[in-house]
Structure 1
């Protein structure tokens, strides 16, 4: 399939336990059969309402059940039931264990940024134009 023949999602958001998006289908495509999967469980309440003002556009709505929320990473797949094509995934991250992972990752990124800054400064000192500027500024 060419990119123009594929469904496109936009405007994705998660608010008050409801994941929403806009699905644009190619001209002449049949109405979508959307399903949301959490592991091997199909989530209830998924809707795809056509936009009366925009042919081929549908507003998707997927309620995220409260019992799905727990520590760790929870993934929900949004897919076309007829083709099995994954259109989107919703990842929900929660818990103290995750907070430690995120902080460790952030510390590592800061250290890498400091390393890159030092390497860039060293590189600039080797370039004649930057050497003259450095001498003028007194650094």
Structure 2
């Protein structure tokens, strides 16, 4: 049995990159599947690199839509989930972020006013 660990390195130009490390004497490398909403993602590649394996997962443009889209990376041999990653996009998300940012700004202003008042009154 192969013990596989996955470390994300980056997302660049629509491709999720990671490094797979595994303890095995087999030359075939790990067997990986990536799914989105239960459907396999095409174009996933695993290639040898410096004693480890480079995993490349192209993020299909047709999978990007409003909300959060989650991709699951699993080891087919052990059926273990190695990693997940999510893509967030769209108007509903940006509205939520703006509201949170405005709340944070208001709280920061309140704290600044209270601190200034404290400094003036305690002299």
Unmatched tracts of structure 2, length 5 or more: none
Which deviates the most, 76-85 or 36-45? 76-85
The counterpart of 2:96, out of the listed 91, 96, 101, is: 101
CA shift in 2, pair 1:62/1:92, >3 Å: same
Unmatched tracts of structure 1, length 5 or more: 126-133
Q: Post-superposition, which runs of at least 4 consecutive aligned residues in structure 1 deviate over 3 A? A: 108-119
* Structure 1 position 29, deviation (Å): 6.1
- Larger RCO, structures 1/2 (Cα 8 Å, 6+ apart): 2
Structure with bigger strand share is 2
Instruction: Pick the structure with greater CA Rg.
Output: 1
The counterpart of 2:30, out of the listed 21, 29, 32, is: 32
- TM (norm. structure 1) is 0.68
How do 1:93-132 and structure 2 match up within 5 A? Answer: 93-112=88-107
The counterpart of 2:20, out of the listed 16, 20, 23, is: 23
* Structure 1 position 110, deviation (Å): 3.9
- TM (norm. structure 2) is 0.76
Equivalent residues, number: 117
Structure with bigger helix share is 1
